[in-house]
Structure 1
Amino acid sequence: MNFVKRAGMSLGGRKSKTAALLAIFVVMCALIFGGFLLQAAAARQVAGAQRTIGVDVTVQKKSLTPALVDRLGTFYLVHRYTPELPVRAGARDFTPLTSSTPKPGGGSTGKEEQQVPLTVHGVRDSGMLLPFSYGSTKITAGRGINPGDAGRGTAVIEQRLADKNHLKVGDTIQVRSTDGKRTAALTVVGVFQDATQDPSGWTPPHELPGNTLYVPVGTARELATGTASVSDAMFRIGSPDQAERLHAQAERLLGAGSFDFRVNDKAYRDQVRPIQQVGTFAALIVWVVGLAGALILGLIVTLQIRERRAELGVLLAMGEKKWKLIGQHAVEVTAVALPAVALAALAGRLAGQPAGDAFLGRQDDKPAAADRVPDADIAPPTLRVEPAIVGKVAGIELGISLVSTAIPGIGILRLHPRSILADIE
């Protein structure tokens, strides 16, 4: 009789033991599935964190130009970047804010302070600036400055300046250069609110938080008198270990030791480290379950061989080859393992997401850190039963099946039908 057919008859005739073996396989498959699903979900969340949270690097250098910042911003590790080019400017068709407290000594405001009461920041991406990215400054209407504004006359103004002049998104304001020779017409694309309160004492107009504007870098350069330098340049990279490569690139462009390079990776580490720990734990689950499963199934097969010595002795006496007896046990275990993979995949599809929320969603219940990026939270975990994962689990289970039958099969190779039948008699 074919040993494959004999394996099927053996499974059918020992239904209770087959069901017990199936239950063991289902538990093993479910745990291995859970490990792979958590690993995949953790990897997706870490990749999402690299795109959204990332690591912010601030570069400062005397005489840093927007052109140098653009060259460093094209480095392949940089996801987003922005220079910050501060200049002074005057207002033409709207009224800047002034301090509510008289100037000490009763003197009048200086001529320069009257002519250039605005502080204009030329940026490429206002969302990269620390006040915006960490929530102390918020957009209340419209949007911020983005790379698409390059070459366009746009501006984001402070809420207090907008309220005083009854300005809203879509209105146009005119800002003139320090020397008064150039005027730029700017369309208000956003209104922001700075949490900084107005100073209690007299303050020059350009130092009032309400007189701050954000415009594209090109606009700021047009308003500047002479050569304007970038005060800071912010770059966002994927992870802390990429900072060293960005620093090396900055040295090639800016010169070694000629700039200040600061890395702010606390928000990234606070949110990503727990996810990476879950991924490591999931990998450990796969290894432990695989090794323990091979051991447990090996013991089960060994016990089955001892129980079926009479059957084996009769088959050997009839001339059956020993490798076919081992093959029969391998087929029996494999025939139970494959349905277990299907059942575990179904269980993973139904119960995987709640388990992922429990493991990977735990950090969402913690209070936000002071320097956490509010608009760049890690996306919720998504556990998907993909064909690749099913294939991995099936391969591991088949491997466990072969190992758990091959090692006890050594005992079958040592059996002799005469001694087996003599023991039975």
Structure 2
Amino acid sequence: MNLFKRAWWRLTGHLGKTLMLIGLFFVICTLVLSGFLIRSAAARAATDAKQRVGAVATMQLDLDALISSGKAQESNGSMPGTIGAAGDLHRSLVDKICGSSVVAQCNYTTDAGAFPTKSTKLYQPVPPPAGQDTLGTDLFRADGIRDLNAVSEFRGGDSKLVSGRGITPRSKSDEIVVEERMAKANGLKVGDSVRLKVGQLPPPGQKKNEKEYVFKVVGIYKSSLADTGQYVPALMDPANHLYVSPDGASTLLGKGDEADDGVVKQATFTLKDPEDLGRLKQDAEAAGADLDIFPLSVNDKQYKALVGPISKTADFATVTVWLVAVAGTVILALIVASSLRERRKELGILLSLGERKPRLLGQHLVEVVVCAVFAIGLAGACSGLLSQSIGDRLLAGEVGSAKDDAANQGRERDPSDPNGGLKQDEPAADPIDSMDIRLGPADIGKVGATGLAIAAIATLIPGSRVLRLNPRDILTKGD
């Protein structure tokens, strides 16, 4: 008799057991397919985040490496040691590295200060207490930037231009953007000039640099930080925060007037591909950079913040797929083994009638595969909504944990700061808190292959006992 007919009669004649197998396979296939869909959604989100954030390599001075190299200026007894020219990262070098074929975008910043002059005064609504020494704080804070729009305060809306324009990569070294309160205190408007002095105190025994440098006001901005009504050191007052080009900041650092002498504190390079860091290091060395003193490191903090929760969700889904597959195989194998014991008389009769053992095993396999096919179809119809619901709940928990961890995380030390200062906070990146579940033919194919593999393994392993049976033993001894 045809084994397919026998399998059909068995399935239709024992509907209870058939529906039980279909239900078990439905649960297994639904969970497996949900795991596949969550992993696929996480992979798409990670790719989108990588394109949005990019891989950013940072170059800046490593003070410990400079001291270890012996290139720092040492103390001679009367004068303390200083960083020296060996610790200067020149803009001309950075521009060469920016020309690398693996760099999609580059930026650099310089921190500087500027002493006021007779014609350009500090904004100080509350004077300092009598007798307080303010020599080291009575100056402007001047940030040398390549693009004002890239500054976190302006990108986040805490500061905004109210007149003129900002600093751009094409800005000249004598262009400056000032805060609205400082501009009013000095009667400045766009197009006026300000005169500033180098914001560096001289070493002991040397005279202060009294040379005045002229800057043209190209923009006026407004900070959201209001006056406190109390005395604040001028350097820390947001109204005394100036923005200049990197070359302008180098001038105020006393590093030189020429563009090639411009010094930057930190350079960032957005790579076209995260795997290109090695090539970037080769190009940097070819340009003349000492990567021991100015190391290149990939800053993937924002990328990790974006994809961390969804990656953990995908990892959990992967573990679930394996656990369900293994557990489902074991459970089905036990069910098939139990079914074989129950049907021992049927097997014995068929064998005594001359049926071959492989065809008996094939009948059982057909029965289980038919149940699996029905379950895979039902899983494909239901898994989309179920995966979305499960994925969103798991992701919401991971996002909450990630935000708590970020709130408790401290700032890192700035390796270029001789005073052991901390790095400036980077713009916060909100984790991806939703996933785009898409059910496609490839996903159905994967869960179908998984389901059929489970059916085959769960049937063939216990069913192999059939190949060792003979009709006399089955009909006379039972098991």
Q: Scaled by the length of structure 2, what TM-score is found?
A: 0.66
Structure showing the higher helix proportion among its residues: 1
- Structure 1: which amino acid aligns with 2:239? G
Matched residue SS, 1:376: coil
Q: Which residue of 2 aligns with 1:255?
A: 290
Q: 1:76 to 1:275 in 2, by over 3 A?
A: farther
Q: Which residue of 2 aligns with 1:24?
A: 24
The answer as to 2:228 corresponding to 1:230 is: no
Conserved in 2, the CA contact under 8 Å of 1:176 and 1:182?
A: yes
Superposition pairs for residues 68-217 of structure 1, below 5 Å? 68-73=93-98, 81-85=106-110, 97-100=122-125, 119=142, 121-124=144-147, 127=150, 138-140=158-160, 149-151=168-170, 157-158=178-179, 160-161=181-182, 172-175=190-193, 184=216, 186=218, 191-193=222-224, 200=231, 203=234, 208-214=237-243
| Cα RMSD after superposing both structures | 4.9
Q: 1:377 to 1:63 in 2, by over 3 A?
A: same
Q: Which residue of 2 aligns with 1:398?
A: 452
Name structure 1 gaps, 5 residues minimum.
none
Q: Which residue of 2 aligns with 1:407?
A: 461
Q: In structure 2, what is the Cα distance between the partners aligned to 1:287 and 1:334?
A: 20
Q: Which residue of 2 aligns with 1:417?
A: 471
Cα deviation, residue 19, structure 1: 0.8
Cα deviation, residue 350, structure 1: 1.3
Q: Relative to structure 2, which stretch is displaced further, 340-349 or 284-293?
A: 340-349
Residues 288-339 of structure 1 deviation map (CA, whole Å, 9 limit, x = unaligned):
2211211111111111112122222333333333222222211211111122
Q: In structure 1, what is the Cα distance between the partners aligned to 2:226 and 2:29?
A: 54
Q: Which residue of 1 aligns with 2:390?
A: 355
Conserved in 1, the CA contact under 8 Å of 2:247 and 2:263?
A: no
Matched residue SS, 2:435: coil
- Structure 2: which amino acid aligns with 1:379? I
Q: 1:256 to 1:337 in 2, by over 3 A?
A: same
Matched residue SS, 1:214: strand
Cα deviation, residue 18, structure 1: 0.8
Cα deviation, residue 70, structure 1: 3.9
Cα deviation, residue 22, structure 1: 1.1
Name structure 2 gaps, 5 residues minimum.
62-85, 197-210, 412-424
Superposition pairs for residues 56-71 of structure 1, below 5 Å? 57=58, 59-60=60-61, 62-71=87-96
Cα deviation, residue 373, structure 1: 5.5
Q: Relative to structure 2, which stretch is displaced further, 14-23 or 245-254?
A: 245-254
- Structure 2: which amino acid aligns with 1:62? G
- Structure 2: which amino acid aligns with 1:59? Q
Cα deviation, residue 381, structure 1: 2.9
Q: Which residue of 1 aligns with 2:36?
A: 36
Cα deviation, residue 63, structure 1: 3.0
- Structure 2: which amino acid aligns with 1:138? D
Q: Which residue of 2 aligns with 1:303?
A: 338
Q: 1:102 to 1:166 in 2, by over 3 A?
A: closer
Q: Which residue of 2 aligns with 1:380?
A: 433
Q: 1:284 to 1:44 in 2, by over 3 A?
A: same
Q: In structure 2, what is the Cα distance between the partners aligned to 1:264 and 1:18?
A: 56
Q: In structure 1, what is the Cα distance between the partners aligned to 2:162 and 2:456?
A: 63
Cα deviation, residue 341, structure 1: 2.1
Count residues in correspondence: 406
Cα deviation, residue 118, structure 1: 7.6
Q: Relative to structure 2, which stretch is displaced further, 227-236 or 327-336?
A: 227-236
Q: Relative to structure 2, which stretch is displaced further, 75-84 or 308-317?
A: 75-84
Q: 1:99 to 1:177 in 2, by over 3 A?
A: closer
Q: 1:184 to 1:338 in 2, by over 3 A?
A: farther
Residues 2-46 of structure 1 deviation map (CA, whole Å, 9 limit, x = unaligned):
323332232111110011111111111222223323333444454
Q: In structure 2, what is the Cα distance between the partners aligned to 1:197 and 1:250?
A: 46
Cα deviation, residue 344, structure 1: 2.4
Q: In structure 2, what is the Cα distance between the partners aligned to 1:296 and 1:102?
A: 81
Q: In structure 2, what is the Cα distance between the partners aligned to 1:196 and 1:56?
A: 37
Q: In structure 2, what is the Cα distance between the partners aligned to 1:362 and 1:239?
A: 31
